[in-house]
Amino acid sequence: MMKYLYLKLRDIFQFSFNLRMFLSFGALIIVSVLSSLYICLFGFPYTSIEGIYNKSLSQMEGTLEFLADSKKQHMVKWVFERRGDVKMAANSFRANAKVERLLSKMQGYKLGNPKFLIERLKKEEEYRELTSYFDEIQASYHGQYEEIYIVDAMSGTIIVSTKEDEVGSYSHINAQDIKSGQDGFNLVASSHSAGINLVISRAINICAEVKPYCITDATTTLSADAATRAGISPAIPTWRSPRKRK
């Protein structure tokens, strides 16, 4: 029985010479095509042949590096611009003169009582003018600043702010460490959104005029909460597919 099956199978698979040559060449062609396709897609190791997949991967890596560099350059430029805004506001005669007069009127104020403090400050012309000035700056750079405020360096109390409900509250920025002519940088969680803010602070020289008794140390500090999302988002390009017409 087994011998019969063997002979039967041998008869079935007994190909002629021409048929065997045809099958051999056919198999060789198939292997060659598959090998060429593999090399075309994935390249050949240890050679300059990269292949479509490796070229696409290299282009993708190059694009990601370009986006990272662009994002970094944009962020550096954004921080430099925000630093210039704070420096301009802190050194402006318009702010310095009003802060100097406001501080002289605040002698004896109870800084630890926010409600009392805001009620007293609202009556002061300098406070209203400073608030209006900072509101103008904030409006000029729409979306860049979440809050602009002045901190009493000794107590850490916010005495002027574009957000009235923050006046009288404690600022978590250590304003005493900021020296005259220097900038302070801090990253803090936003109290008004879910983002992170870059707080740029600069000491205010309250000597609006040269006076022998004027103290030039940092007794007040101008701080600005810059929304970092405004500096990051524009650096990332987005593509949108065109809407289909109905």
Residue 157, SS3 per DSSP: strand
Choice among 16-25, 129-138, 153-162, 221-230 with the minimum mean pLDDT: 16-25
Task: Take residue 172 and report the two structure tokens written for it.
Answer: 């978590």
pLDDT above 70 (res 161):
yes
pLDDT above 80 (res 53):
no
Counts of helices then strands in the chain (DSSP H, E): 7, 5
According to DSSP, the residues that pair with 220 across neighbouring strands are: 152
Contact 127, 160 (CB under 8 A): yes
| CB burial readout 36-65, b (16+ within 10 A) else e | eeeeeeebeeeeeeeeeeeeeeeeeeeeee
Q: Is 10 exposed, middle or buried (0-12, 13-18, 19+ CB in 10 A)?
A: exposed
Domain boundaries, the chain: 56-232
| pLDDT at residue 128, as a whole number | 92
Tens of pLDDT, residue by residue over 180-195, are 667 888 887 777 677 7
Going from the C-alpha of 38 to that of each of 30, 46, 47, 53, 224, the distances in angstroms are 12, 15, 14, 10, 58
Domain 56-232: which topology? Beta-Lactamase (3.30.450)
